[in-house]
Amino acid sequence: SGTLAGSVASRFEAVPPEPPRLKVALAGLGTVGLGVLRWLRGLGQDLELTGILVSDRDRTRQDDVPRELLTDNWRDLLSPPPDLVIEVIGGTGVAAELISAARGRGIAVVTANKELLARKPALGRAAATRHWPPLRAAASVGGGVPALEHAALIAADNPVQSLTGVLNGTCNFVLERLQAGDTYPAAITAAQRLGFAEADPHLDVSGLDSVYKLSLLCTTLFGTGLPPAAIECRGLETVTPEQVQAAGRQGQVLKLVAAAERHGSRVRGRVSVQALAPDDPLARGRNAENCLFIHHADGRTHALHGKGAGRYPTTCSVLADVMEIRREILGGQAEGAARKTG
Ligand code: HSE
């Protein structure tokens, strides 16, 4: 059945009696990449892993990493061409070259790269629509929370007026630890150890990660891109650990909140630290949880809440996209075969 939750009825695709294995290339073997590798290998018969892009082939790796598949040249991943590339390297360098070359050759892409999608509006729009070759990015917003899929369903249902959310698990975790008395470096180190933080945690604590996610949500919800540079951003550097603790003593909770609102044909967005009452819906997320509230003009609100960061929540979103693309590819092959025999 489909991976979209909501009011869309599931339907079964016609698949060939012996479906060919989907050829998958994986770019990145960090926190998420290793989770994806393990889950892909668990799928055995359905998928064939054709290559894994890493920055350093000679580095010591876990025993379950197939060394014969490692390459440090992204071009190797596309030759011979796989059916699908999974990009979990992040950044706008190699990832951009790989995704552009793959799409140019008609190869489907699954990515978790919010920065790239937010900075390249054409890619952001491609991820928000359903064109061939598919570009899916469920893991780029919300970790294990299917935020972009729900946003697409919600926007199709009725015009959206505004959204508010806690979109960065690391900041949520760090603020919670500061309030409990941890030092800032200790809180960041713990977030890194738990696999919540970006390779460069400055992206998290500066608010930029939330800016990219907010930008992508706006593209999906409002149909109009909100470039990262147009989003006002004031991250955790605007509060000291003492202020976080003082807020706690006054019965408040500090959260890094991302918000955007439609004003006529324009959309305004902001990421900032806010002091909230403990029973505020935005304050409920614990640990690295994310939450998102999407408001329609008629007053209705949709709420999403779940694990916003970490290896396996994010892997779960990547794999959901992979399996959906597999169904599409197999469905297309079955239709093609039926046309030939019919
Ligand atoms: N570093 C990100 C976060 C990972 O903490 O939310 C998930 O996008």
pLDDT digits 0-9 by tens, 198-239: 999 999 999 999 999 999 999 999 988 799 999 999 999 999
Question: Please, which residues have CB within 8 angstroms of residue 154's CB and are 6 or more apart in sequence?
Answer: 160, 221, 294, 296, 302
Q: What is the pLDDT of residue 131?
A: 84
Report the pLDDT averaged over residues 184-204: 96
- The Å distance, Cα 244 to ligand 1 centre, comes to 21
- The Å distance, Cα 121 to ligand 1 centre, comes to 21
Q: Is the CB of 82 under 6 A from ligand 1?
A: no
- The Å distance, Cα 208 to ligand 1 centre, comes to 11
**Ligand 1 atom with least separation from CA of 314:** 7
Q: Which of 126-135, 137-146, 244-253, 285-294 has the lowest average pLDDT?
A: 126-135
Q: Which of 152-156, 205-209, 286-290, 292-296 has the lowest average pLDDT?
A: 152-156
Taking alpha carbons only, the member of 297, 255, 233, 268 closest to residue 165 is 255
Q: Which of 12-21, 118-127, 306-315 has the lowest average pLDDT?
A: 12-21
Q: Is the CB of 146 under 6 A from ligand 1?
A: no
Q: What is the pLDDT of residue 231?
A: 98
Q: What's the token pair of residue 27? A: 């770019």
Q: Is the CB of 196 under 6 A from ligand 1?
A: yes
Tell me the CA end-to-end span of the chain in Å, nearest whole number: 26
Q: Is the pLDDT of residue 13 over 90?
A: no
Q: Is the pLDDT of residue 333 over 90?
A: no
Q: Is the CB of 168 under 6 A from ligand 1?
A: yes
Cα dist from 116 to 96, 140, 235, whole Å? 7, 10, 20
Report the pLDDT averaged over residues 278-298: 95
CA-CA distance, 294 to 55, in Å (whole number)?
A: 39
From atom 4 of ligand 1, which residue's Cα is the shortest distance away?
309
Report the pLDDT averaged over residues 139-159: 93
Please, is 284 exposed, middle or buried when counting C-beta atoms within 10 Å of its C-beta (0-12, 13-18, 19+)? middle
Q: What is the pLDDT of residue 132?
A: 87
The rounded Cα 9 to chain-centroid distance in angstroms is: 24
Q: Is the CB of 142 under 6 A from ligand 1?
A: no
- Give yes or no for a contact between 288 and 194, defined as CB atoms under 8 angstroms apart: yes
Q: Is the CB of 170 under 6 A from ligand 1?
A: yes
Provide DSSP, 260-286. EEEETTEEEEEEEEEEE-TTSGGG---
Provide DSSP, 202-269. HHHHTSHHHHHHHHHHHHHHHSS---GGGEEEE-GGGS-HHHHHHHHHTT-EEEEEEEEEEETTEEEE
Q: Is the CB of 115 under 6 A from ligand 1?
A: no
Confidence band of 338 (pLDDT split at 50, 70, 90): low
**Ligand 1 atom with least separation from CA of 141:** 8
Q: What is the pLDDT of residue 336?
A: 62
**Ligand 1 atom with least separation from CA of 140:** 8
Q: What's the token pair of residue 193? A: 């150890």
Task: Give the number of other Cβ atoms within 10 Å of residue 78's Cβ.
Answer: 18
Report the pLDDT averaged over residues 50-66: 92
- The Å distance, Cα 210 to ligand 1 centre, comes to 8
- The Å distance, Cα 308 to ligand 1 centre, comes to 7
Q: Is the pLDDT of residue 14 over 60?
A: yes
Q: Which of 10-14, 188-192, 257-261, 325-329 has the lowest average pLDDT?
A: 10-14
Taking alpha carbons only, the member of 289, 307, 319 closest to residue 112 is 319
Report the pLDDT averaged over residues 55-60: 90
Provide DSSP, 181-201. T--HHHHHHHHHHTT-S-SST
Q: What is the pLDDT of residue 334?
A: 60
Q: What is the pLDDT of residue 63?
A: 85
Q: What is the pLDDT of residue 2?
A: 54
From atom 7 of ligand 1, which residue's Cα is the shortest distance away?
309
